[in-house]
Chains A and B, each alone.
Chain A
């Protein structure tokens, strides 16, 4: 049975999306249970696969059994089907995406009921479709299939963002233009690779591309690589393509933002890593002496710029959005350092940052649920009225700053090691600066939040001392915050059993 597990990961949310849309038509209350069920199945399969991959290596699955076909006249087997692959590089991400999506689905129920009353079933269907797209990007072994899943995820996220009020339409439109441009550049890049390689299968390409370049570098492959990387950068809101992200995630409904913010950018980073490491190779990256420094300078710029703008904002959601932009800089920088600690840091940070951003947006969502907004000045007295939420918030901020033993400390540790080993000191400086800025923001919030006179919106009934968000929101938030510490404590296990094996063989000691 376990050989069918990889496809179950996508099928869970995909079927849930269809069923939720139809069931919601007849009985609106039915749509949410379907989504929960689909995501739970998907998470269980992903979790099981983590153990299978850790023990037995990569799992390959041919859709419909269309595997390597051998035609008598052709000696070499050739690929006709679409492959999906679960290996050391993506298994942790799959578990993280499906797990965070499941927790967010539980968490977002109350928010959706209040923010999007009467439209819950559309939200549920789109939510499941988005997760199916994101999981598809993470699992596929075919570069064109990756484009299709990328667009499935993107189209559902445009709709999810546009559910907000007021400025969300324009924000979503800008995202659509930028996202489509990224996807088109990616598609164009696939064309160049296809001209030279003649296949779209990632395993085949990783075998073929080195042979094509045996007699010197190929221009077409280089152009294809650059186009794909540019496309992925536009999708992940990497500096200087970040313009769409803050507005899109701030004006989106809180429920949409809490699933999009942690997952969408991380999955795009994974797509970039997959292209860099598997389709092309680490030697190819290290051979690009012209581009590598540019990518590293851009990462530094992304971190510095994200940190700077997060300081100037007064809206908590906006601050969190600029955090995302600087975190993307961490991962792209780590990937382009292209040495062992740098890549370890980038791969570990994929999972860690998904968890941290999720916890951050969950905590902000709880605050928004009670306050109706998240201006910094409105947070007066929030520590007295919502102690559990704020405890989770402080733990999350500590993780983002990089306080041990949370997961943020370890990813930053690897990244700094990698940058030092490669001698890229501006990246080290940017990482430290970003921690400093996050600490400043945390202390600003603590200063406002411990104000004795609470904000009218949060006061509620003066007789009741606490005014927390409902338990269905509070428990996922607290669980996620505890998860950050657990993830940090489990770092060495994760790195030794899984991430170390995902690194390219050329880097092995």
Chain B
């Protein structure tokens, strides 16, 4: 994890934590597309971007500078003094994100399937036109 207390200067802090800045930008783009866009496919794209932002966020919090791969041999486990937790990257966040990616893909698949069904009914992806069609 990047040490955020090192730079007291705001700009320096932002550059040191540039991955979090990107996370925030990605999530804002995704959220805006999900809520404000009228096109169903664009909503789906926004959903995927939002999820990507979250995945990047989790990967960022698990990363460490100059950390080892978190695989412990039996020797290390039994020789008590050898484990220093700070030397190893945190594997949990990456495992969590594997699950989240699977969930994201499944959601996107269902979303696109539903959008396709809507298109078959109304011949359009535009939300306003669909609502107008439904009122008839």
Contact = CB atoms under 8 A, between A and B. Distances in A.
A71 B80 CA distance: 8
B110 A176 contact: yes
A176 B121 contact: no
B106 A155 contact: yes
B114 A72 contact: no
A191 B99 CA distance: 14
A173 interface: yes
Contacts of A172: 114
Contacts of B47: 177, 180-181
Given A148-B103, A167-B134, A180-B47, A73 B82 contact: yes
Given A73-B82, A188-B57, A180 B118 contact: no
A173 B107 contact: no
A151 B103 contact: yes
A163 B117 CA distance: 11
Contact of B80 (A73, A169, A180, A194): A73
A170 B103 CA distance: 21
A377 B118 CA distance: 30
A194 B117 contact: no
A111 interface: no
Contacts of B34: 177, 180-181
A202 interface: no
A148 B106 CA distance: 12
A144 interface: yes
B81 interface: yes
B: interface residue count bin: 35 or more
B83 A73 contact: yes
A187 interface: yes
Nearest to B58: A191
A144 B93 CA distance: 11
Contacts of A144: 96, 99
Interface string A149-191: 0010011001100100011011011001100110110011001
Contact of A162 (B40, B80, B92, B114): B114
B110 A148 contact: no
B54 A191 contact: yes
A79 B121 CA distance: 51
A74 B79 CA distance: 11
Interface of B: 27, 31, 34-35, 40, 43, 47, 50-51, 54, 57-58, 61, 77-83, 92-93, 96, 99-100, 103, 106-107, 110-111, 114-115, 117-118, 121, 130, 134
Interface of A: 71-74, 144, 147-148, 151, 154-155, 158-159, 162, 166-167, 169-170, 172-173, 176-177, 180-181, 183-184, 187-188, 191, 194-195, 200
Given A154-B107, A169-B118, A194-B61, 15 more contacts: A73-B82, A170-B118, A170-B130, A173-B114, A176-B114, A177-B47, A177-B111, A180-B51, A181-B31, A181-B34, A181-B47, A184-B51, A184-B54, A188-B54, A191-B57
Task: Give me the 9 closest cross-chain CB pairs, A-B, nearest first.
Answer: A73-B80, A169-B117, A173-B114, A151-B103, A72-B80, A169-B118, A73-B83, A176-B111, A158-B110
